[in-house]
Chains A and B, each alone.
Chain A
Amino acid sequence: MNVKDQFRFVRQNMKKNKTRLFMTILATAIGCTFLIVLASVGFGLHKSIIQDVMEDSLVTEVQVHGKEAGEGNFQGIKDEDIQHFQEITGVKAVTRRQSLQQSPIFKTEDYTAQSEAVSAYFPEEVKAGFELSEGRLPEKGNEVVVGSSFADGLSLEPKEGENAFNEDGTIKEELAYKGELVGKTIEMEVIKMEDGKEIKKSIPLTITGVTKKPSKEWMQIRTVFISEDIFKEVEAFTGTPGGNPEQIEGTPEDNGRIYDSVSLYAKDVEAVTGINDKLKEDNYMVYSIVNEMRQINMVFTILKIGLLFIGTIALIIASIGIYNTMTMAVTERAPDIGIMKAIGAHPKTIKRIFVLESSYIGLLGALFGTIVAYGISYAVNLALPLVLERVFEEAPPEGLMLSYIPWSLTLISVAICLTVTIFSGWRPAKRATQVDVLKAMRREV
């Protein structure tokens, strides 16, 4: 008996009790919907969290926060460490930054802004993906690059008793800076404390470029990227490492430059693990998103398996309905089975027809269940932000997805649904092969 005829046969048989068939398919569809929707919560949250983590940092980045020097001692990253990092296989760039230990005031014309000043090594920054929206990188010691939102921090002095800021924290229109930045000369005012008095120093700088806006709209970069020469000039003025206005007690002796922020960039994602392992082996304290993602993935894999397991229970309950339907079908069709066996139907053919019938129910249930699950998932994602906003009076995190149905989940669910339904149809199908020909033909079954 060929497959086409088997399907024809199954469809013909299924038409015999449409109501019972409908109810069985409905039960299977509900089970399948429950399974998919439940597991989709795990998939949705996983996706949202991964997306969130990924947006905050680069996958190829490995941050180095220092080195363990034994007996719980911590050592900052120095130039010799940087040299060592550059020799590690798979490293594309090693960026290092030093933040000035005070927030200088920057002035241009009558506008002022207080921002963080950072010394960065640009050749490596560029290799790591540092980009400008306009202008060029600094070439001389007094040239600087400013963050994309630096201009947003520049404002005129407000009149006495007035506030320079709007309610949302932005500078009032009439006080905000509207001009160009590239080519402008700004004064960087740094301070030092001497005998309780504040002594100021002004360093003239030229803006040569503005950094590219970050992909996240809410992120504001107002940093001023100064040269190493300027950084040293500030250090010389304050007489403290990092240009701290005051000498801090217990500050270790200067044994060379110590970087505040060091990141290694791998050539590709595959190289990250190797770099990570190598750094750990050399006692460096590292953080990479790949490691964090590995942990997140593990937690969510366990969660998803758990949810799939709970969902499968619903399907198993639905399979009782299929078992019942198939048992009834075998009992009702016993005379027909007897006749078929009498004229030469192989027991395997009889079994295949009934297993196919239960699979058909499973397949239809899975199909309708999947369609409904997609609908529910869409509705949940649409309604959830509105509900959260209503209840908590706060906008939910951007990109939050409570339910997500990837193809893999659909395939897993359909496979579970089919397995469960085939399994539940197996015993009735076996019973069909055991129908006694003579009893069946005498209608005694």
Chain B
Amino acid sequence: MIDVRELSHAFEIGKKEKKTVIPVLEGVSFSVEKGEIVTIVGRSGSGKSTLLNIISGFIKPKHGEVWIHGEKVSDYNEGKFADFRLANLGFIFQSFQLIPSMTAYQNVELPLILKGMPEKERQQKTEETLKRVGLIEYKDHYPSELSGGQQQRVSIARALVVNPPLILADEPTGSLDSETENELLQFIQELNRDLGITFLIITHDEKVAAIGHKTIEITDGRVMEGVLA
């Protein structure tokens, strides 16, 4: 499903002579099989978020390759990656990233609008997904009117609505309390089990890491040998 090969990345800070290069990832390679839940753990600043952002196409890597679904996505331009994301990837963010001026329904419907799906079909699909995450009765609520857990479920519904084979999650439980966190993790496992969705989750939380079929530890931009479970 995902094949990361010799991925290296560095950030450049400052201008011209004062430019400083800070290496973030160095020769990272790993793969994720279809139907797996893979968690990437590491301390703050270890490069795990940069790794996820590169896989998501938000950052272009300096070296190395990223293959998803047999396609070398690291060579894609912005437009092509956008189309690829819309068709193949779902996202769950730590801070939910819902559009505040849109209701829960509208937030979930958004990817389908971008896909150009007809309104009737879109309505059915959106309501179905909201039912799945247990939020159908909150469909007309704005994000500010929902709890953290509910917002994250809207965010998951938005990721699920296009039936992506792969969901990338960046600290999905980072903004949730312990009880909601458990519920969410259970839900992720359910989706993986029932729908066969592959998850790649970035976390520093052991509880989250524990649901992974495989865990990759990143330290100082490198994958630690021998810690793959």
Contacts of A346 in B (CB 8 A): 79, 82-83, 86, 114
B111 at the interface (CB under 8 A from A): yes
Task: State which residues 334-390 of A face B: CB under 8 Å.
Answer: 336, 338-349
Q: How far is the CA of A336 from the CA of B114 in the complex (A)?
A: 14
Do A347 and B78 contact each other (CB < 8 Å), given the known contacts A342-B91, A438-B53, A438-B58? Answer: yes
| Residue in chain A with minimal CB distance to B116 | A2
Q: How far is the CA of A338 from the CA of B83 in the complex (A)?
A: 15
Contacts of A336 in B (CB 8 A): 99, 101
Q: How far is the CA of A9 from the CA of B102 in the complex (A)?
A: 11
Q: How far is the CA of A444 from the CA of B201 in the complex (A)?
A: 24
Closest beta carbon of chain A to B163's beta carbon, Å: 13
Interface size class of B (residues with CB under 8 A): 20 to 34
Contacts of A342 in B (CB 8 A): 56, 58, 85, 91, 93, 97
Contacts of A339 in B (CB 8 A): 97-99
Contact of B87 among A12, A344, A441 (CB under 8 A): A344
Q: How far is the CA of A250 from the CA of B127 in the complex (A)?
A: 106
Instruction: Count A-side interface residues using an 8 Å CB cutoff.
Output: 23
Tell me if A344 and B111 are in contact (CB < 8 A). yes
Task: State which residues 1-30 of A face B: CB under 8 Å.
Answer: 1-2, 4-5, 9, 12, 16
Contact of A1 among B56, B85, B87, B114 (CB under 8 A): B114
Q: How far is the CA of A336 from the CA of B143 in the complex (A)?
A: 13
Tell me if A345 and B101 are in contact (CB < 8 A). no
Tell me if B99 and A348 are in contact (CB < 8 A). no
Chain A interface main SS type: helix
| Residue in chain B with minimal CB distance to A341 | B82
Contacts of A349 in B (CB 8 A): 114
Tell me if A437 and B79 are in contact (CB < 8 A). no
Contacts of A437 in B (CB 8 A): 58
Q: How far is the CA of A47 from the CA of B89 in the complex (A)?
A: 64
| Residue in chain B with minimal CB distance to A437 | B58
Contact of B97 among A16, A345, A441 (CB under 8 A): A441
Q: How far is the CA of A91 from the CA of B113 in the complex (A)?
A: 68
B195 at the interface (CB under 8 A from A): no
Contacts of B93 in A (CB 8 A): 342, 441
Task: State which residues 80-116 of B face A: CB under 8 Å.
Answer: 82-87, 89, 91, 93, 95, 97-99, 101, 110-111, 113-116
Digitize A433-445: 1 where CB-to-B-CB distance is under 8 Å, 0 elsewhere.
Answer: 0000110010000
Do A1 and B113 contact each other (CB < 8 Å), given the known contacts A339-B99, A343-B158? Answer: yes
Task: State which residues 308-353 of A face B: CB under 8 Å.
Answer: 336, 338-349
Do A343 and B78 contact each other (CB < 8 Å), given the known contacts A336-B101, A438-B58? Answer: no
Contacts of B113 in A (CB 8 A): 1, 5, 9
Task: State which residues 26-47 of A face B: CB under 8 Å.
Answer: none
Closest beta carbon of chain A to B201's beta carbon, Å: 17
B59 at the interface (CB under 8 A from A): yes
Do A343 and B59 contact each other (CB < 8 Å), given the known contacts A1-B116, A336-B99, A336-B101? Answer: no
Tell me if A343 and B85 are in contact (CB < 8 A). yes
Tell me if A343 and B114 are in contact (CB < 8 A). yes
Contacts of A338 in B (CB 8 A): 97
Q: How far is the CA of A329 from the CA of B86 in the complex (A)?
A: 25
Contact of A344 among B53, B89, B101 (CB under 8 A): B89
Contacts of A347 in B (CB 8 A): 78-79, 82
Q: How far is the CA of A267 from the CA of B119 in the complex (A)?
A: 62
Q: How far is the CA of A338 from the CA of B119 in the complex (A)?
A: 24
Tell me if B58 and A344 are in contact (CB < 8 A). no
Tell me if B114 and A16 are in contact (CB < 8 A). no
Contacts of B86 in A (CB 8 A): 343-346
Closest beta carbon of chain B to A338's beta carbon, Å: 8
Contacts of B58 in A (CB 8 A): 342, 437-438
Contact of A343 among B79, B91, B116, B119 (CB under 8 A): B91
| Residue in chain B with minimal CB distance to A337 | B99
Do A340 and B110 contact each other (CB < 8 Å), given the known contacts A16-B101, A438-B58? Answer: yes
Closest beta carbon of chain A to B27's beta carbon, Å: 23
Q: How far is the CA of A38 from the CA of B56 in the complex (A)?
A: 55
Closest beta carbon of chain B to A308's beta carbon, Å: 38
Closest beta carbon of chain B to A206's beta carbon, Å: 87
Do A344 and B97 contact each other (CB < 8 Å), given the known contacts A437-B58, A438-B59? Answer: no
Tell me if B79 and A348 are in contact (CB < 8 A). yes
Q: How far is the CA of A1 from the CA of B119 in the complex (A)?
A: 11
| Residue in chain B with minimal CB distance to A6 | B113
Digitize B107-151: 1 where CB-to-A-CB distance is under 8 Å, 0 elsewhere.
Answer: 000110111100100000000000000000000000000000000
Closest beta carbon of chain B to A443's beta carbon, Å: 9
Closest beta carbon of chain B to A437's beta carbon, Å: 5
Contacts of B59 in A (CB 8 A): 438
Tell me if A344 and B114 are in contact (CB < 8 A). yes
| Residue in chain A with minimal CB distance to B107 | A339
Q: How far is the CA of A122 from the CA of B150 in the complex (A)?
A: 98
* A-B contacts, 10 listed (Cβ < 8 Å): A1-B115, A2-B116, A12-B101, A340-B114, A342-B85, A343-B86, A343-B110, A345-B114, A347-B78, A438-B53
Known interface pairs A342-B56, A342-B91, A343-B85; 15 further A-B residue pairs with C-beta atoms within 8 A, sorted by A's residue number: A1-B115, A1-B116, A4-B119, A336-B99, A339-B97, A339-B98, A339-B99, A340-B114, A341-B82, A343-B86, A343-B91, A344-B82, A344-B89, A344-B114, A346-B114
Binding site for A on B (CB under 8 A): 53, 56, 58-59, 78-79, 82-87, 89, 91, 93, 95, 97-99, 101, 110-111, 113-116, 119, 158
